[in-house]
Chains A and B, each alone.
Chain A
Amino acid sequence: MSAGVWPRSGRSGVRVWALPLGLLALLLGLAFLALGLGAVATPPAQLWSALTGGTGPDTDLTRQLVLELRLPRVLVALLGGAMFAVSGSIMQAVVRNPLASPDLLGVGAGAGVAVTALLLAVPNAPGWSIPWGAFAGAWAAFLLVLALARDGSRLPPVRLALLGVAVAASLGAFQQLLLVRAPDGIGAALSFLTGTVYGADWSRLARLWPWALALLPVTLLTARRLDVLSLGEETAAALGTRVPLARYGTLALAVGLAAAAVSACGILGFVGLLAPHLARMLAGGLHLRLLPVSALIGALLVLLADTLGRAALPPLELPAGVITTLLGAPYFLYLLRRAARTG
């Protein structure tokens, strides 16, 4: 029957919820584990006592470890991962290109250059201004990549990816140039842009959460529009969508999410590419389902990367961005190969 979708999802209402709920449970479990893991041992009993208001010198230390150091870091990792993932999902739908993601389209690099320039011009720029600077830079870079890559109204996937990487590389070089000419100390202040949540504290989180809180729910409202846009321009127009408005509106969301994430945890390589693909495999292509699953997977990826980075070789800390890049780069190469083969 043509209504094949309905009976199935009706019968398996549990199944619809099973995946996001399962991921959420996994995420919470990992978060609790991440709060308990670190260079200083905090046994679960102590952790529990600290979180439930126990007293004593050990408990106080544990509470300080968990609330001052680990919790903000875990939250930044979760939000940053979710924002990159949702940003990537939107871009892949709108640009209709499996290789689209914030770091590959120059958005991350543009945000990085803009933050560098902002801190050079206004060394004591307030924390809230940094995501806005990143937003402006991200847009400029993104529009540049789109303008260069478009072939009439088409955006050939491999061309887009190549130009994105090229623009990102030249922006990276430009950022180096700015840093060479910068006074000492700015470079050190920007070291997090390479993609790490090391040293993330409540003030770093404050740069992030307003954007996450404002933008992530809105993306769910655009889910249907993303479904339509991912069918292609003509179909979307035929279905009554005002394509340019929908396209740039959703892209603005994607760029905003990525820019805010960059301003708090730098460019976490390939999260915005990997998470949407995994989500599509698990949850299918409908965005109302895809977006939350993608966000959960992105958050899970970054948290896992950072927890591994913290716990693997203490007291050394491996940057989360390095681990996500190690995971993501081979997958990107595989996608690139496949896309090149199919044209």
Chain B
Amino acid sequence: MTNLPKKTALLALALSVLAPAHAAPVSIQTDNGPLTLPQPARRVVALEYSYLDTLEALGIKAVGAAIGTQGGDRGAPDYLKPRVRDVREVGSRAQPNLEVMLGLKPDLILADTFVHKALLPNLARIAPTAGFENRRGSYDDVLRQILAIGQLTGREARARQLLADQASLVSKAQAFTKKNAPGLVAAVVTPGAFTVHSTDSFIGSLISKLGRKNLVAPKGTTTQYELSLEGLVALNPGTLVLFTGADETPLSIQWAKNPLWQKLSAVQRGRVYEFDRDLWTRSRGPIALKSIFAQMISSGLLADKAPPKAFLPRQ
């Protein structure tokens, strides 16, 4: 009852944003404070792959994106590559080139409050900048960002449709999940590091949402952190999910030769899965999520079934 005025207010607000889709000012709350654009943005620079994926899903071509492969960055994920051929590269995510951005004359820059913290004032001088907690954000955070980006670009209706798609994907996937399956650990494995993704990380929170228990809790505000083989043995997960790059030799191949590894419950049960880290943890957008949901089901991860050949860990 007391909710009613609030609801109608929200509805009115939603309608007022929806109705004049063009030329009306847009105001939203970002993780870096409120942001008002005089009109929906047309020329957007995306400094995370997640934003690039989201913009594509909204039907907007970014004018520039941090898809550089230099300086230790891996560039656009494979599934995005054909879509971003015309997008101007503005350097790496860690050190985007301010000049190139300025030269593109963007009317919106999408940045990450963690990665670009020190850079936000510089970016704001180039164009209105929306900072979101994306790299360290959860699945729900990313959903909120999809809506915000939709509002900023005058595509709110489309964004809401994307959220509805996500909701139905989640409920469909949940039906596959085996209740009371043992706890799991999900980690990005590079040649040098084994980084676990906690219940507050993007992929870790999604796995929890779908009903599998993630054994890794965040450490303070840090949602993903490195673990040693010993630390992994201490957690002794019944399921182990590895995210790797096809062009890299993950550390886990070396660990697998260690007797401790063989003692892991997940190894003994044959429940070690390997997925593409570019798709699963670096993309974080609606297009990537469709493939992620499909692989979650087809790999047997949700149902706690042994992985088919395509998702078996490399030896």
Residues of A within 8 A of B (CB): 38-40, 61, 64-65, 68-70, 183-185, 188-192, 198-199, 201, 203, 313-317
Contact = CB atoms under 8 A, between A and B. Distances in A.
B99 interface: yes
A238 to B, nearest CB: 52
Contact of A40 (B100, B116, B122): B100
Interface in B99-145: 99-100, 102-103, 105, 113-119, 121-122, 125, 136
A61 B101 CA distance: 11
A69 B119 CA distance: 13
Interface of B: 68, 70-71, 89-92, 94-100, 102-103, 105, 113-119, 121-122, 125, 136, 220-222
Given A199-B118, A201-B125, A69 B102 contact: yes
Contacts of B117: 185, 188-189
Contact of B70 (A69, A198, A203, A313): A313
B70 A316 contact: yes
B95 A317 contact: yes
A8 to B, nearest CB: 49
B100 A184 contact: no
Contacts of B94: 191
B310 to A, nearest CB: 35
B95 A198 contact: yes
A39 B121 contact: no
Given A39-B103, A317-B97, 20 more contacts: A38-B99, A40-B99, A68-B102, A183-B220, A183-B221, A184-B114, A184-B221, A184-B222, A185-B113, A188-B115, A189-B118, A191-B94, A201-B121, A203-B121, A314-B97, A315-B96, A315-B99, A315-B100, A316-B92, A317-B91
Contacts of B103: 39-40, 61, 65
A64 B97 contact: no
Contacts of A61: 102-103, 105
Nearest to A38: B99
Given A183-B221, A185-B114, A201-B125, A315 B102 contact: no
B119 A199 contact: yes
B114 A315 contact: no
A192 B118 contact: yes
A38 B99 CA distance: 7
A93 B15 CA distance: 73
B118 A201 contact: no
A192 B122 CA distance: 14
Contacts of A68: 102, 125
Contacts of B91: 39, 315-317
Q: Which 8 residue pairs across A and B have the least CB separation, nearest first? A: A315-B97, A40-B103, A315-B91, A316-B70, A189-B118, A39-B99, A185-B117, A39-B100
29 contacts: A38-B99, A39-B91, A39-B97, A39-B99, A39-B103, A40-B103, A64-B102, A69-B98, A69-B102, A70-B99, A183-B220, A183-B221, A184-B114, A184-B136, A188-B114, A188-B118, A190-B118, A192-B118, A198-B95, A199-B118, A199-B119, A199-B122, A313-B70, A315-B96, A315-B97, A315-B100, A316-B71, A316-B91, A316-B95
B200 to A, nearest CB: 12
B68 to A, nearest CB: 6
A6 to B, nearest CB: 52
Given A203-B121, A315-B91, A317-B91, A40 B102 contact: yes
A68 B103 CA distance: 12
Contacts of B70: 313, 316
B217 to A, nearest CB: 16
Nearest to B103: A40
Nearest to B71: A316
A314 B98 CA distance: 11
A235 to B, nearest CB: 49
Contacts of B121: 201, 203
A132 B189 CA distance: 42
Contacts of B95: 198, 316-317
